[in-house]
């Protein structure tokens, strides 16, 4: 595993790779895997998934590089870095959905040669971003298959979690959010870690993600995560049927059965509207935020999907 912050759309961006690093030559590479995260877009939450996926593919004899790209502004570079992430105020266009899409387009065009085909994984809002990426013909020509995992591609505000977020979480955040994050980050780093670990223990989250959660809790990151989520609520409404229909052969949808963001009724409606769509309903009760507890089983599922769509040797 390699990781670093690279400059994409003038924003230091956290990238994690398995196999070839993004700046290595891809002359002898035909295909690779890129994962676009959900929200929050911190690649640190995807380390177990990405590593397990690359291992699964390797066990099948397929040595594909696996890259995970975080969202712009969702991960601050180390304090010693010469680059800083711009503040949210006055730079909203860099961190909203449109800015995140521009960010991913630039990454692909900069680091993926035209001869390399991409197996593109979109988790949650990452799946909606994939729909927008397909509007760029240069990017679309690079894509072999899109794997839409627990896809928040429609009616986010109408979902059970969307209702909670807009009616409860956002009003509370507007009143107490700044105070909470300011007070929390005024504590010593050890006390912050202890509090996070207690939270993880209560909700059965592996402690290996404590460091990433600590980054998530910084005010500069948290405000951009909430800002993007608020934009999602207002923008992700009806399914973009034209994009889905025009690119139907590129999609593999994977829906959960316990998903508060994407109810099973959304899966049922998709199958009704597009009878030929390649869509699958989870049978293992994997959670929407699969990277926290179900990375390895999800990696096995996705590796099987990818292996079915690889070029024959």
- Kindly name the residue from 124, 159, 295, 303 that is annotated as catalytic: 124
Catalytic residue among 103, 288, 294, 303: 288
CA atoms within 13 A on the CB side of 60: 17
The one catalytic residue in 14, 74, 123, 259 is 259
DSSP tag of 86: P
Helix and strand totals (H; E) in the chain: 15, 8
312: annotated active-site residue: no
Q: Quick check: 34 and 16 in contact, CB under 8 A? A: no
Q: Contact 220/87 with Cβ under 8 angstroms?
A: yes
Instruction: Decide if 295 is catalytic.
Output: no
Alpha carbons within 13 angstroms on the beta-carbon side of residue 78 total 6
Instruction: Compute CA distances 63 → 30, 55, 147, 230, 294, whole Å.
Output: 10, 9, 19, 39, 23
Residue numbers annotated as active site:
124, 259, 288
């Amino acid at each position: 595993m390699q990781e670093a912050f690279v400059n994409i759309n003038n924003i230091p961006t956290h990238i994690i790779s398995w196999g070839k690093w993004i700046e290595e030559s891809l002359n002898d590479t035909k295909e690779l895997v890129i994962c676009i995260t959900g929200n929050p877009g911190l690649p640190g939450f995807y380390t177990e998934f990405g590593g397990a996926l690359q291992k699964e593919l390797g066990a099948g004899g397929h040595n594909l590089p696996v890259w995970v790209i975080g969202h712009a502004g969702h991960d601050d570079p180390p304090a010693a870095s010469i680059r800083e992430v711009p503040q949210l105020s006055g730079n909203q266009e860099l961190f909203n959905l449109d800015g995140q899409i521009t960010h991913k387009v630039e990454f692909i065009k900069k680091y993926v040669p035209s001869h390399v085909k991409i197996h593109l994984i979109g988790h949650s809002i990452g799946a909606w971003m994939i729909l927008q990426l397909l509007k760029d013909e240069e990017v679309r020509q690079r894509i072999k298959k899109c794997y839409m995992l627990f896809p928040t591609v429609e009616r986010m505000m109408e979902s059970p979690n969307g209702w909670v977020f807009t009616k409860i979480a956002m009003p509370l955040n507007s009143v107490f959010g700044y105070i909470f994050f300011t007070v929390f980050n005024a504590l010593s780093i050890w006390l912050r870690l202890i509090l996070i670990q207690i939270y993880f223990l209560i909700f059965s989250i592996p402690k290996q993600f404590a460091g990433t959660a600590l980054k998530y809790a910084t005010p500069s990151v948290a405000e951009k995560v909430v800002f993007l989520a608020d934009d999602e609520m207002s923008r992700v409404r009806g399914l973009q049927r034209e994009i889905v229909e025009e690119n139907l052969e590129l999609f593999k949808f994977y829906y959960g059965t316990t998903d508060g963001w994407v109810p099973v009724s959304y899966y049922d409606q998709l199958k009704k509207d597009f009878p030929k769509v390649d869509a699958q309903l989870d049978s293992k009760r994997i959670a929407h935020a699969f990277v926290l507890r179900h990375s390895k089983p999800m990696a096995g599922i996705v590796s099987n999907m990818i292996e079915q769509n690889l070029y024959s040797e």
